[in-house]
Chains A and B, each alone.
Chain A
Amino acid sequence: MAAADRQRPPFVAMLRDSALAAVVAALLAVPLLGVRLVDNASGLTLDRRLPLVLYAAAAVFAGRLLLSLAGRYLAPSLRGMTASLPGMPRNSLVIFGWVLVAAALLLPWMPFAERNLIDKLTLILIYVMLGWGLNIVVGLAGLLDLGYVAFYAIGAYAYALLSMHFGLSFWICLPLAGLIAAMFGIALGFPVLRLRGDYLAIVTLGFGEIIRVVLLNWQAVTNGPNGITGIERPTLFGLSFSRAADGPTFAGFFGIEYAPAQRVYFLYYLILALAMLTTLFAQRIRRLPTGRAWEALREDEIACRSLGMNPVTVKLSAFAIGASFAGLAGSFFATRQGFISPESFSFIESATILAIVVLGGMGSQIGIVLAAVLLVGLPEWFRDLAEYRMLVFGGAMVLIMLWRPQGLLSRREPTVLLDPKPASAEATVP
């Protein structure tokens, strides 16, 4: 396509372009959408569905035409709108963040907050926390980790096994699970962290699969594919959230009527606290030497090495800290579900968490919240779509990436920069 007619496509060129796209769509649709394999007693037969091919072609034609029309007549104003997003001053983002936190704290007291909504928000918050944790590894330290879910799984199983075999309570297991996940992070990271970016990605992906396969097959410890059931529920300073328990119950202690929703609300506040812990930790550590070292290493590894930094220990600290937050989130997941199995820790979870970090705009804490709501929240609300849900999920991932390749709210610049001399300062230099 010549550059000239790309810039200002006349209507005819648009039509031709759309027709071409429709032909390609029809070609793509013919073998897979146009015929459907049907199992019969005599073997496979074919069910012809050629109208579907026509629908697909027509849809692509119309969509392509609309897109190019919109691109011509609406693009300038749209571009203005989206360009204003990253231009928001940092302060207003911080204020917006605290408003979000306040809203999250007050939400359960609102009249419209039924149990279902709180439950879904709890799920979203788990992913927000995982996103914030992974952001330490990917966003701050620049290490591409495709097997983050492994540490999440380790945290979940660590809690389940510790509480089952040693009768430890949730509050003792929680830090232990984080610690164990961090130890696994160090054990994996130590040999592989000197690899370059994409090699690291595939090794972490492989590690994630190894953990899943081991969980699936180590019957004696993990109970294999059946998973672990009856995981102990958390307590609030020893007050349990059940109707009747050996010890004091929450409802009994405060003299209020028992309601199953109380646990839901408690879990919501618990994950909110854990997530806040993650983000506040990340915000603080960015200003400490460790965090500065991560960002410096991400920007230029060779420069860092020549300044005497040891890249392996710096990366290892990021990897271990990221892993420990996944471990904490994992034990929360285990205690919320009361049941875990290897199925919950497949690669798609790693991909979702990474997508949340990248879509959010790496390094942006609020962007991650938005991305988690988009990727985890929306599909939850659209459960009616049933089998189309994952199709929409994947499509959304592609479309958001195409729309904003740098993420919803991009903030990847280093926290500290050399003093950017204003123009006036330069003028004063003799």
Chain B
Amino acid sequence: MTIDIFLQQLVNGLTLGAFYGLIALGYTMVYGIIGMINFAHGDIYMIGAFVALIGFVVLSTIGVVSVPLAILIVLVMAMFFTACYGWAVERIAYRPLRGSPRLAPLISAIGMSIVLQNYVQIAQGARTKSLQPIVNGQYSIDVGNGAHVTVSLLQIIIIVLTVALMAGFTWVIRSTPLGRAQRATEQDATMAALLGVNVNRTISITFVIGASLAAVAGMMATLYYGVIDFYIGFIAGIKAFTAAVLGGIGSLPGAMLGGLAIGLIESFWPVFFDLAYRDVAVFGVLILVLIFRPTGLLGRPEIEKV
């Protein structure tokens, strides 16, 4: 592998890792706070992508030509509407099941995922939707020996936006009252409630934040791939969840690291091996990591007590 291919795949892998990291944050937060696998989260991401696509079409119909303005408006819109979906899913399908057997919310989540997929399929049609590229610029960087690495403007936007969101998000969790309430609920919901934390509201906000981060990933996917359909949430969701587990579920830096790892594996795999087996590689690495580090890369070992 020459240096230019290496750098090129590194850039592509970072971009991919940004998607998975953003979605994985939603999984890991929800898991941390109520201990359930939110299976519908991948479909929340898909809804984010659809809302963003519809937003772009609406803006072009009413004649907004400035690209940065359009992206900003669509970003806010997608985050808002998708957050509504995240909130509603929690309110309808998970909140009534709090305190019931552990598998009940999981089944409810799988059901919700099927509902969301088919709802979008019926409402928007089963065919793939494609969008003309909006952000076009790209830079070619000379890496010596006449070799070039291409970095598109969109990739830069995606990586910068992701880093900014993650930094802001880490700040929220670390040093705001909301973040404190969240960490308290995560450690001991009953105790947090006794100390005056509104547990239900904190959990709702967790879902809202998770959904809006997924919406950002969805908007970026709409721009980056330009092709979406109602089924994209499933595989993206599974891989993002894999990323969360890989990083150590419940750990926020772990989710970002896991997303990055999955993104890099995916972009480097085809350089050496058959592209068709890329997903096998992702899950294979997951199994290997878990065998040698059963709590994931950054997860804390859980102390088991009688």
Binding site for B on A (CB under 8 A): 24, 27-28, 30-33, 35-37, 39, 43-46, 138, 144, 191-192, 194-199, 201-203, 205-207, 209-210, 213-214, 216-217, 300-303, 347-348, 351, 354-355, 358-359, 362, 387-388, 390-391, 393-398, 401-402, 405-406, 412
With a CB–CB cut-off of 8 A, which chain B residues contact A300? 306
CA of A37 to CA of B302, assembled, Å: 48
B280, A397: Cβ atoms under 8 Å? no
CA of A215 to CA of B282, assembled, Å: 17
**Which of these, A213, A214, A354, contacts B107 with CB under 8 Å?**
A354
The stretch among B12-20, B51-59, B140-148, B180-188 that forms the contact with chain A is B51-59
Which residue, of B107, B108, B117, B306, has the highest number of chain A Cβ atoms within 10 A? B107
With a CB–CB cut-off of 8 A, which chain A residues contact B123? 32-33, 36
Kindly state the interface size class of chain B when it binds its partner: 35 or more
With a CB–CB cut-off of 8 A, which chain A residues contact B106? 144, 358
**Which of these, A36, A46, A405, contacts B97 with CB under 8 Å?**
A405
B31 interface residue per 8 A CB criterion: yes
Closest to B122 in A: A387
With A32-B47, A210-B279, A394-B115 known as contacts, the answer to whether A351 contacts B122 (CB < 8 A) is no
B111, A398: Cβ atoms under 8 Å? yes
Chain B window 35-59, contacts with chain A (Cβ cutoff 8 Å), 1 for yes, 0 for no:
0010000000001001101110110
A394, B112: Cβ atoms under 8 Å? yes
Give the A-B pair count, Cβ closer than 8 A: 188
B9 interface residue per 8 A CB criterion: no
A214, B280: Cβ atoms under 8 Å? yes
Closest to A403 in B: B96
B88, A24: Cβ atoms under 8 Å? yes
**Which of these, B120, B277, B282, contacts A32 with CB under 8 Å?**
B120
Which residue, of A24, A39, A402, has the highest number of chain B Cβ atoms within 10 A? A402
Closest to B92 in A: A398
Binding site for A on B (CB under 8 A): 31, 37, 47, 50-51, 53-55, 57-58, 61, 77, 81, 84-85, 88, 92-93, 96-97, 100-108, 110-115, 117-125, 127, 129-132, 234, 238, 241-242, 245, 249, 274, 276-277, 279-280, 282-284, 286-287, 290-291, 294, 296, 302, 304-306
With a CB–CB cut-off of 8 A, which chain B residues contact A396? 111
Closest to A43 in B: B132
With A27-B81, A32-B47, A191-B287 known as contacts, the answer to whether A45 contacts B119 (CB < 8 A) is no
A217, B277: Cβ atoms under 8 Å? yes
CA of A214 to CA of B281, assembled, Å: 11
With A196-B302, A397-B114, A398-B115 known as contacts, the answer to whether A405 contacts B104 (CB < 8 A) is yes
**Which of these, B54, B108, B124, contacts A401 with CB under 8 Å?**
B108
With a CB–CB cut-off of 8 A, which chain B residues contact A406? 100-101, 104
**Which of these, A195, A301, A390, contacts B114 with CB under 8 Å?**
A390
CB distance from A115 to the nearest CB of B (A): 30
Closest to B98 in A: A405
CA of A359 to CA of B107, assembled, Å: 8
A-B pairs with beta carbons under 8 Å apart, 30 shown: A28-B88, A33-B123, A36-B125, A37-B129, A43-B132, A138-B103, A192-B287, A192-B290, A196-B294, A198-B249, A199-B249, A203-B290, A205-B238, A207-B283, A213-B277, A217-B277, A302-B305, A354-B103, A355-B110, A388-B118, A388-B122, A390-B114, A390-B118, A396-B111, A401-B105, A401-B111, A402-B93, A402-B96, A405-B97, A406-B104
CA of A28 to CA of B84, assembled, Å: 7
CB distance from A189 to the nearest CB of B (A): 12
CA of A396 to CA of B105, assembled, Å: 14
With a CB–CB cut-off of 8 A, which chain A residues contact B96? 402
CA of A33 to CA of B120, assembled, Å: 8
With A303-B306, A391-B115, A394-B111 known as contacts, the answer to whether A347 contacts B245 (CB < 8 A) is no
B249, A362: Cβ atoms under 8 Å? no
With a CB–CB cut-off of 8 A, which chain A residues contact B111? 355, 394-398, 401
CB distance from B184 to the nearest CB of A (A): 22
A46, B61: Cβ atoms under 8 Å? yes
A206, B57: Cβ atoms under 8 Å? no
CA of A106 to CA of B148, assembled, Å: 75
Closest to A147 in B: B283
CA of A312 to CA of B108, assembled, Å: 30
A37, B108: Cβ atoms under 8 Å? no
A44, B290: Cβ atoms under 8 Å? no
With a CB–CB cut-off of 8 A, which chain A residues contact B100? 405-406
B129, A397: Cβ atoms under 8 Å? no
With A27-B81, A351-B110 known as contacts, the answer to whether A202 contacts B286 (CB < 8 A) is yes
Given A39-B127, A199-B290, A395-B111, 18 additional A-B pairs, CB 8 A: A28-B85, A31-B50, A35-B54, A36-B124, A44-B53, A144-B106, A196-B294, A198-B37, A198-B245, A207-B283, A210-B279, A210-B280, A302-B306, A351-B114, A362-B101, A390-B114, A405-B100, A412-B101
Closest to B77 in A: A31
CA of A46 to CA of B58, assembled, Å: 7
